[in-house]
């Protein structure tokens, strides 16, 4: 990697968000990232650019501006239908060289994980994947990229002082989407694809979802989550009944998944899903850091545990101490009476 001089670094400006699109529509994680980028850009007195690549995506610009983008950089081309990471990477690197963004942020989704490391290598810069926090050093323009490190035992804040652009990915639901403001105004810049972008193009024509991966905790408003304290599969049957009663989804700690009591698709945390539900009820989950990073932004957290001193009981909005096998049926009975 080539170290840039201070003069060269000062040529880089603005915060870019690589929009995540699917079949021509912008995915919600993009708005979460635009909200985070807005805070970074304001600290640096620069602009938020949303970069949208795809086919039939031109109509999305206004919404991105409403969420906080100042400029929408569009490459709308029928040849970008589906997902072609090689071609998209070539287009993005070309645009990065032309406009020199100070920061490029993308989503840590399966598309982002295929595309963004490729861009980072081609743009000759580093990448901090799966950040849980982003902040800006307004003096230097250094992006402070926080993420779990050393097996999740510490949270590390990473700076790339000598290289530009600085690139980071963030998982869906880690950041909160801002409230859109329909009165905001912005500009749209249109760029074209070049034939050279299409060189040796590999294209993914169809994406299949397996049934297990379809457990969508990230959109659930209520999550009833169980840990080692559930004692076995029967414990999770109780949680499923509880969840059905309140219209919620079932989550789990890694300990419960590793024990084979519930499939991996239900796991919440660093190596599972990140959730941001209105209500998260943690049953028999002690709340180790690797679990907390996946659910700490839920609006209301209720913990049920025998031990009042666990991290989960300490951080919960409501902590209920006792045997969950007595407490959960009691709560379910009370709900039935309503």
**Per-residue interface string for the shown chain with ligand FAD, residues 184-203, x marking contact by CB under 6 A:** --------------------
Closest CB to ligand FAD among 150 and 208? Answer: 150
**Per-residue interface string for the shown chain with ligand FAD, residues 130-169, x marking contact by CB under 6 A:** ---------------------xx-----------------
CB of 329 to ligand FAD, least distance (A): 12
Listed ranges 139-147, 156-164, 188-196, 287-295: which one lies at the site for ligand FAD (CB under 6 A): 287-295
- Told to check if 281 binds ligand FAD by CB under 6 A, we report no
Contact 248, 266 (CB under 8 A): no
Closest CB to ligand FAD among 48 and 320? Answer: 320
CB of 306 to ligand FAD, least distance (A): 4
Closest CB to ligand FAD among 74 and 250? Answer: 250
Closest CB to ligand FAD among 89 and 282? Answer: 282
Print burial letters for 286-297: b (CB count within 10 Å at least 16), e (below 16): bbbebbbbbbbb
Out of 136, 288, 301, 328, the only residue in the binding site for ligand FAD (CB under 6 A) is 288
Closest CB to ligand FAD among 30 and 253? Answer: 253
CB of 278 to ligand FAD, least distance (A): 20
Site for ligand FAD in 291-330 (CB under 6 A): 291, 294, 304-307, 310, 323-325
Out of 272, 276, 280, 298, the only residue in the binding site for ligand FAD (CB under 6 A) is 272
Listed ranges 19-27, 37-45, 156-164, 251-259: which one lies at the site for ligand FAD (CB under 6 A): 251-259
Binding interface with ligand FAD (CB under 6 A): 151-152, 227-229, 253-256, 267-272, 284-286, 288, 290-291, 294, 304-307, 310, 323-325
């Amino acid at each position: 990697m080539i170290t840039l001089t201070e003069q060269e670094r000062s040529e880089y400006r603005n915060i870019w968000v690589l929009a995540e699109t699917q079949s021509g529509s912008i995915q919600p994680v993009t708005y979460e990232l635009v909200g985070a980028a807005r805070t970074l850009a304001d600290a640096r007195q620069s602009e938020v650019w949303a970069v949208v690549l795809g086919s039939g995506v031109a109509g999305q610009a206004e919404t991105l501006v409403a969420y906080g983008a100042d400029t929408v950089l569009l490459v709308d081309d029928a040849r970008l239908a589906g997902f072609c990471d090689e071609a998209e990477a070539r287009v993005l690197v070309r645009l990065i060289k032309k406009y020199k963004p100070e920061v490029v942020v993308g989503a840590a989704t399966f598309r982002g994980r295929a595309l963004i490391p490729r861009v980072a290598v081609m743009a000759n810069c580093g990448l901090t994947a799966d950040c849980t926090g982003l902040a800006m050093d307004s003096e230097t323009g250094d992006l402070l990229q926080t993420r779990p490190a050393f097996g999740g035992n510490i949270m590390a804040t990473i700076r790339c002082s000598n290289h530009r652009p600085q690139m980071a990915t963030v998982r869906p639901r880690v950041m909160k989407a801002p409230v859109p403001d329909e009165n905001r105004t912005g500009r749209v810049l249109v760029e074209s694809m070049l034939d050279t972008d299409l060189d040796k193009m590999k294209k993914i024509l169809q994406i299949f979802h397996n049934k297990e991966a379809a457990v969508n905790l990230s959109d659930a408003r209520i999550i009833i989550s169980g840990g080692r304290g559930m004692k076995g599969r029967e414990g999770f049957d109780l949680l499923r009944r509880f969840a059905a009663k309140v219209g919620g989804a079932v989550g789990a700690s890694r300990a419960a998944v590793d024990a084979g009591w519930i499939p991996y698709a239900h796991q919440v945390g660093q190596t599972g899903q990140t959730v941001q539900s209105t209500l998260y009820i943690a049953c028999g989950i002690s709340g180790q850091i690797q679990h907390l990073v996946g659910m700490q932004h839920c609006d209301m957290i209720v913990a049920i545990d025998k031990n009042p001193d666990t991290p989960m009981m300490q951080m919960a909005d409501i902590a209920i101490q006792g045997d969950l096998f007595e407490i959960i049926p009691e709560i379910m009975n009370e709900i039935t009476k309503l």
